[in-house]
Amino acid sequence: MEDINNSYLSFKVGTELFAIHVGRVSEICEYQEPRKIPETVSFMTGVIDHRDEVIPVIDTGLKFGMKAVEITAQTCIVVVDVTRKDTDTSFRVGILTDAVTDVFEVNEEEFKQVDTDYSPGYIKATCSVNNNFYLILNSDKVFSVNEIIGMGDVLNKIKK
């Protein structure tokens, strides 16, 4: 089995490149229209049925304070495993991306830390690989406790 310790999946949101550790990626899916759910958090576009599990789909553009992801032939839903130790919560979420671009190898020693005064807590670091500049995500910190509770409430309503 290939060692994934230093492997990152990269994707585009608008003109920016983001990356997430491949160990957190469950699957990359072709875009499918999420089912709209009323009264959800603003960046949740709906839910999809993924392998007999209902998971929320997040518009990464809106979540990251950018323009909404524009649906094209390259749009993907990346299913990510998220664990919040502070709430003892684990769940899967689908993140909308403009395109999945690459899988690359990088050692964490090559990461450049970003001062938290200048970036949200979910940006773990930055790095440059093959002349591309990536924002490295910490998937466990992308969602606040209140956002997790809000998405959980929506999913619980669906299951009833």
pLDDT number for residue 160: 54
Rounded Cα gap, residues 132 and 2, in angstroms: 24
Query: Domain 7-159 maps to which CATH number in 3.40.50.2300, 2.40.50.180, 3.50.30.40, 1.10.10.10?
Result: 2.40.50.180
Please name which of 104, 100, 96, 84 lies closest in space to residue 149, comparing C-alpha atoms: 84
Write down the domain spans for the chain: 7-159
Name the pTM for this structure.
0.85
Lookup result for tokens 């190898």? 105
Is residue 103 within 8 A of residue 80, CB to CB? The reply is no
pLDDT number for residue 10: 96
pLDDT number for residue 90: 79
Rounded Cα gap, residues 99 and 14, in angstroms: 9
Two tokens, residue 143:
């969602």
3-state secondary structure 71-135: CCCCCEEEEEEEEECCCCEEEEEEEEECEEEEEEECCHHHCECCCCCCCCCCEEEEEEECCEEEE
Two tokens, residue 88:
């003892």
pLDDT number for residue 1: 36
Please name which of 135, 134, 96 lies closest in space to residue 119, comparing C-alpha atoms: 135
pLDDT number for residue 138: 83
Two tokens, residue 137:
């995500």
pLDDT number for residue 75: 97
pLDDT tens track, the chain, 160 positions:
345 678 999 999 999 999 999 999 999 999 999 999 887 888 999 999 988 888 999 999 999 999 999 999 999 999 998 877 776 777 889 999 999 999 999 988 889 988 766 667 788 889 999 899 999 988 777 876 677 767 767 666 666 5
